[in-house]
Amino acid sequence: MSLLPLFPDLPNPYRTRVSDVAPLFDGEILFVSDWERIGTHDWCLVIYFSERFGRPSSYYAWRRSSDVGQQTAPWHHGHAFPSYDHNRSDDGLPASLIVLWHRAEDERRKHGVA
């Protein structure tokens, strides 16, 4: 008996395309997580090679959930989030983002992001 999935060709509706978030970051995109709805926003973790720091780095991208129905829902850098505050230890971003951080543990290790 085959253990192949029943619907192997169905697209993943939670997949975030690299081309959607690439303009937000200053270097080559190495990994983009599937998006996760947290509150009224969709979030994804992006690992990229930072031209500024000269090493792989990571940060979050977000979009309003109400924008998802559009053909191309705009993604925004985490720094553009309304409650963003670089003086806070969590940058003013939702604490639930830790879920994305832990899910991407293998990718973070692979690219050398702590």
pLDDT tens digit at each of 114 positions of the chain: 445 555 555 556 677 888 889 899 988 999 999 989 888 899 999 999 998 889 999 999 999 886 555 556 789 999 999 999 988 888 889 999 999 999 999 999 999 997
pLDDT value, residue 19: 87
CB 101 within 8 A of CB 90: no
pLDDT value, residue 5: 55
pLDDT value, residue 101: 92
Which residue, among 35, 42, 33, has the nearest Cα to 111 in the 3D structure? 33
